[in-house]
Structure 1
Amino acid sequence: MQHTNPFDVGWVDPQLTPVLLAVIVLAAAGTTVLFCIGIVAYSRRQSMRYLLITVALGLLMVRSVVGLGTVFGLVPMTIHHLVEHGADFTIAVLILYAVYRSGPGAEQTTLESDGD
């Protein structure tokens, strides 16, 4: 697939392309910042809960980068959908597992190991 001008992509309304690009760029910047914060938090705490959340934030960043690549014609739409929906599922599983590990019965262990 070749690099294309996002204003020439057939599946995007040319009037909405600037809005789409702005949203994706802001999402990519925001999720990158959050992922970096997650890495710092994990490096300080080094617990499974922080690792799970950091991986979920990393997947959010990957989703934004794939979306930007799709708009510029670098990522085919099929790959875009596979990555994005796969990431959605994985993020949901990671967050639910982090919540499960933080639930009743894990409270005493969490307080001792995480320092919360």
Structure 2
Amino acid sequence: MDYTSPFDVPWLDPQLAPVLIVVIVLAVVGTTVLFFSGVVAYRRRRSTRYLLITIVLGLLVGRSVVGLGTVFGLVPMTVHHLVEHGCDFTIAVLVLYAVYRSGPGTDRVPVSSDE
């Protein structure tokens, strides 16, 4: 890769480059705020579910940073795809595991057949 500006990227329309950069920067900022919120929640609760969700949020931050690095030519497209799709898979597995671990709820109210 011999470009340092998103406006020189062969696969990106120069008119859409500013939009893509804004969207990715917002994703980085938003997921970072959520990640630190998850860290605070995990430190308070110290449960496996909170840890899993915090890890997922951290993966989302990493995913967004890799996207930004790709736009600026710091991350090759092959690495971009490997990291992003690997994160997608890991996020799906962790969320499903968190749901599985939560098991049946104890706060369920039995439904009466009289109503």
Q: Same fold (TM over 0.5)?
A: yes
The separation in 2 between residues aligned to 1:9 and 1:3, in whole angstroms, is 7
Over 3 Å counting, the alpha-carbon distance change for 1:2 and 1:35 in structure 2 is farther
Question: 2:110 maps to which residue?
Answer: none
TM-aligned CA deviation for residue 40 of structure 1? 0.3
Moved over 4 A (4+): none
Secondary structure of the 2:96 match is helix
Q: How many residues are matched?
A: 107
TM-aligned CA deviation for residue 50 of structure 1? 0.3
Rg larger for = 2
Unaligned runs of 5+ in 2: 108-115
Over 3 Å counting, the alpha-carbon distance change for 1:107 and 1:52 in structure 2 is farther
TM-score (norm 1): 0.88
TM-score (norm 2): 0.88
Answer yes or no: is 1:75 the counterpart of 2:75. Answer: yes
The separation in 2 between residues aligned to 1:53 and 1:3, in whole angstroms, is 36
Please give the root-mean-square deviation of Cα atoms over the aligned residues, in Å: 1.5
Unaligned runs of 5+ in 1: 109-116
